[in-house]
């Protein structure tokens, strides 16, 4: 039985993360990808840490909290952010939002094989509708594959979705004793442990210019702490088939925002994909 509170978390997660990619894409006009990802993780750690300290809930994690912290910090925040922020410099923001959030082709089979989750026929149908929507939205006909870096950018996004799926499986298999909100500062700091060396190595002359300060503040101060908490909790509480289908709403939001704000084209494929993904979410939540 799906709880309304869990579905609300899912809605918060997809709204924030769907809208984040166009903001990130715009920020790269005055920032380099990895240093922007670093600001996202470290500012997120600072905001959540200060909030927990103010609530007197900031404490060192216990031994049973660390499997989830390591999975989220190293895979979802470190690996996922590194790959997606590098890819968004090569791939349109709308397509980045699509492929980065498509955990469905990893999370559903992993939930069945590793967690023994039972998936009803209706939810398999929902997964199929969602994948059809993704196929339409990210169709190869819409990309100039001869452009340098395009193939690599797409591969990064598929791998990023895999790392995110692994983190979700880990938090469900080894749930922490503390709430995920209380573990987030340590998750973000671990993400920084991955991202800072990469930024120093790959972008030694990079950084964030004044034109991207407000983007970094919005993404690091709001989307990173609130959105990441909502994403982790939704992925942990909801069945894998429902969470993975629900996350497909983020690409739809990302494409809509990219179209309105960045002027990325809105064609028949976007409209049809939105209808298919919307239908998949309805079927999944009723299945």
Strand partners, 208: 31
Cite the DSSP H helix spans in 138-267: 150-173, 180-202, 213-218, 228-237, 240-246, 249-257
Residue 213 has a pLDDT of 95
* Successive 10-residue mean pLDDT values, the chain, 287 residues: 76 82 86 93 95 94 95 93 82 66 72 81 78 72 66 82 89 90 95 95 93 94 90 81 72 72 68 74 69
Pinpoint the alpha helices (H) of 28-101. 33-54, 66-70, 80-87, 93-100
The residue length of the chain stands at: 287
Please report the pLDDT score of residue 13 as a whole number: 83
Write out the H or E segment, with its range, that includes residue 6. helix 4-27
pLDDT number for residue 198: 93
For residue 29, the Cα-to-chain-centroid distance in whole angstroms is: 22
Question: What integer pLDDT is reported at residue 140 of this predicted model?
Answer: 66
At residue 238, the pLDDT reads 80
DSSP letter string, 237-286: HS-HHHHHHHTTHHHHHHHHHIIIII-----HHHHHHHHHHHHHHHHHHH
Q: What is the pLDDT of residue 97?
A: 63
| pTM of this structure | 0.80
Tell me the sheet residues that pair with 31: 208
> Is 244:238 a contact under the CB 8 Å cutoff?
no
What is the per-residue pLDDT for 174? 92
Q: Tell me, what's the pLDDT at 34?
A: 92
């Amino acid at each position: 039985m799906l709880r309304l509170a869990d579905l609300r978390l899912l809605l918060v997660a997809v709204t924030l993360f769907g809208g984040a990619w166009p903001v990130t894409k715009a920020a790269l006009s005055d920032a380099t990808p990895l240093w922007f990802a670093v600001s996202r993780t470290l500012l997120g750690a600072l905001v959540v840490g200060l909030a927990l300290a103010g609530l007197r809930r900031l404490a060192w994690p216990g031994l049973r909290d660390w499997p989830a912290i390591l999975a989220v910090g190293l895979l979802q925040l470190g690996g996922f952010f590194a790959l997606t922020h590098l890819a968004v410099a090569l791939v349109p923001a709308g397509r980045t939002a699509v492929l980065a959030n498509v955990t469905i082709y990893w999370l559903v089979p992993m939930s069945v094989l590793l967690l023994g989750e039972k998936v009803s026929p209706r939810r398999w149908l929902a997964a199929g509708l969602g994948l059809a929507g993704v196929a339409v939205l990210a169709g190869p006909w819409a990309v100039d594959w001869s452009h340098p870096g395009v193939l690599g950018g797409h591969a990064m996004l598929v791998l990023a979705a895999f790392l995110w799926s692994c983190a979700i499986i880990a938090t469900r298999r080894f749930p922490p004793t503390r709430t995920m909100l209380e573990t987030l500062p340590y998750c973000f700091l671990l993400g920084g442990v991955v991202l800072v060396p990469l930024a120093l190595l790959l972008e030694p002359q990079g950084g964030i210019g004044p034109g991207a300060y407000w983007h970094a503040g919005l993404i690091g101060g709001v989307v990173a702490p609130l959105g990441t908490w909502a994403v982790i909790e939704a992925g942990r509480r909801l069945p894998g088939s429902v969470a993975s289908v629900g996350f497909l709403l983020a690409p739809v939001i990302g494409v809509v925002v990219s179209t309105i704000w960045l002027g990325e084209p809105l064609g028949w494929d976007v409209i049809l994909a939105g209808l298919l993904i919307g239908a998949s979410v309805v079927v999944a939540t009723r299945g």
